[in-house]
Amino acid sequence: METREEKNAEIAEEIEEEKNKIRNKKVFKILLWIFIPLFVTFTILYTSLRFIGNYGIVVREYANYNSFLPDNLSGLKIVQFSDIHYNNYTSADKIKKMVNLINKANPEIVVFTGDLISEDYNISDKDKEELIKELNNIKGKIGKYAIKGDEDKEVFKEIFDNTDFKILDNTIEKIYIDNSIIDIIALNENYSKEQIIKDDNNFSIAIIHKPDLTDQIIKDYNVQIIMAGHSLNGQIVVPFIGPLIKKEGAKKYQSSYYKVNNTDLYISGGIGNCNYEFRLFNHPSINFYRLRTNK
């Protein structure tokens, strides 16, 4: 027969079990209230970074005023695109949309400032054909020019050699328009001032991949505009803080525009992504410039 002590022990055990059940329910509710907001926040953040941030292509339009520009060149239109980083995430439709936006701007000059293919992407023949076709569909009344980026390998030349783009590499391309000249000076980290000699009387645009080369170029040459890529404008941008991802070669200059001494530095936000398929407050973009002599 069960003693009173054993009966009391059973009752105490039942009471403790009931307390544990109540305690576990409270813990579960607390965890649920923590988990649900975290899950919703993560879902929104991931969607913003992966999909919303990469949606569409923005055309950043700049009116560049420079008294050094010859009067007859006022109104000249230039489009810069950069950092396509072609891979599985860069759809052919996005490239077509980019080409359509470039052609709508009706530019005289088109420049590509590097990184056509993602370095770890094994590009197919079909991809190459698609890129060649779309690059040839780009309209540039006076000329189309391209420079290599740090991720561009042999396939870069293979593709662009089958287009009407002219590859520039540590050289000066003189563009003659009526009686005026524009120097397009294409430079990388290996350029030599002694070998690349320019006429400082000509209006000059430097096209580079890594924007941190800017200070050295301004020291060596009289250039009015520098167009760069590489930084993707930080790829992830936080309001009031700025670009978060600072790549080698874009530690000092990452954002879309800087005035460096008397030179205007423009950095394209690019079309694709590097390392991470994420963007935030920084949509894929191309730059559209209208050169003007006076405000």
Calculate mean pLDDT across residues 129-143. Answer: 97
Burial profile 115-125: b = 16 or more Cβ within 10 angstroms, e = fewer: bbbbeebebee
The pairs formed by 172-175 with CB atoms below 8 angstroms and a separation of 24 or more are 172/196, 172/198, 173/143, 173/145, 174/202, 175/109, 175/142, 175/143
Measured between alpha carbons, how far is residue 45 from residues 42, 52, 273, 285 in Å? 5, 10, 17, 21
Q: State residue 20's pLDDT score.
A: 67
CB 160 within 8 A of CB 135: yes
Res 44: pLDDT: 40
- Please give the mean pLDDT across all residues of the chain: 87
Per-residue model confidence as pLDDT tens digits over 66-115: 999 999 999 999 999 999 999 877 878 899 999 999 999 999 999 999 99
Query: Is a pLDDT exceeding 50 seen at residue 256?
Result: yes
pLDDT on residue 243: 87
Of the ranges 31-40, 102-111, 283-292, which one carries the lowest mean pLDDT score? 31-40
Give the chain's end-to-end CA distance (angstroms, integer): 106
**Residue 294 has what pLDDT?**
79
Higher pLDDT, 57 or 22: 57
pLDDT for res 241: 84
**What per-residue confidence (pLDDT) applies to 6?**
60
- Output phi, psi for 255, to 5 deg: -75, 180
Q: What angle do CA 135, 277, 44 make, to 5 degrees?
A: 130
Give the pLDDT of residue 86: 94
According to the model, what pLDDT value does residue 136 have? Answer: 98
Report how far residue 143's alpha carbon sits from residue 57's, in angstroms, rounded to the nearest whole number.
23
The proportion of the chain whose per-residue pLDDT surpasses 90, expressed as a percent, equals 66
What is the pLDDT confidence band of residue 33, given thresholds at 50, 70 and 90?
Answer: low
The per-residue pLDDT for 50 is: 44
With pLDDT > 70 as the criterion, what percentage of the chain qualifies? 81
Tokens coding 91: 């759809």
**In the predicted structure, residue 45 carries a pLDDT above the cut 70:** no
Task: Let me know if 223 is exposed, middle or buried by CB neighbors in 10 A (0-12, 13-18, 19+).
Answer: buried
Position 129 pLDDT exceeds 90: yes
Q: Return the closest-CA partner of residue 223 out of 64, 51, 32.
A: 64
Does residue 41 surpass a pLDDT of 90? no
Of 137 and 15, more confident:
137
pLDDT at site 268: 97
Using CA atoms of 86, 290, 62, 245 in order, give the dihedral in degrees to the nearest 10: 30
Which tens digit of pLDDT belongs to each residue from 144-196? 999 999 999 999 999 999 999 999 999 999 999 998 999 999 999 999 999 99
pTM value?
A: 0.84
What tens digit of pLDDT does each residue of 212-255 get?
999 999 999 999 999 999 999 998 888 888 888 899 999 999 99
